Amino acid sequence: MNDELFTKIYKAINSFNIDIIKKIITKIIFLNLNAFCQKSEILAESKVDERVELLSIVFRLAGNREYCSKMFPNYVQNIEEYFTPFKYHELIIYTKNKIRAKGINYDAVMSMAISITEDYPFQPLIPFTSKVPEERWGKKSM
């Protein structure tokens, strides 16, 4: 801990300001818990979740603004070169006309991605309901 913190504690104790003492003790506890709760492990290597990539690309081709970033130009160029010929595939048209119209965008797309099996043909990891994987995907919506 630093001298500034000890000075604050000392001043607080001398002035008997209980509120300040409570705040300082809470901060000390939080900082210590935070330090002990963090894992020291680092992932050996990163992994791409192909379900996330697939649905991101589908919604990009369908024109969802939130999936059309050009922040990583080489990545975007690779996607456009490879997938643009599929822009009029029935899945993209269905996504554009039916799914987007039901408000399925942003986080709802990723909720679906992590709720299906990793291998094709994709299957639900748990039975879908009106709220699973996410309410906007619900059985009544589709």
Dist CA 53 CA 45 (whole Å): 18
Cβ pair 52, 110 in contact under 8 A: yes
Cβ pair 104, 132 in contact under 8 A: no
Q: Look over the chain and give the mean of its residue pLDDT values, rounded to a whole number.
A: 81
Cβ pair 58, 95 in contact under 8 A: yes
Question: How do the residues of the chain divide into helix, strand and coil, expressed in percent and rounded to 5?
Answer: 60, 0, 40
The CA dihedral of 124, 51, 46, 35, to the nearest 10 degrees, is -50
Model pTM score: 0.64
How many alpha carbons lie under 13 Å from residue 40 in its C-beta half-sphere?
2
Any residues with CB less than 8 A from the CB of 120 and at least 6 apart, and which? none
pLDDT at 25 over 60: yes
Please compute the mean of the pLDDT values over residues 39-49 and round it to a whole number: 75
Q: pLDDT tens-digit profile of 46-104?
A: 888 999 999 999 999 999 989 989 999 999 999 999 999 999 999 999 999 888 778 88
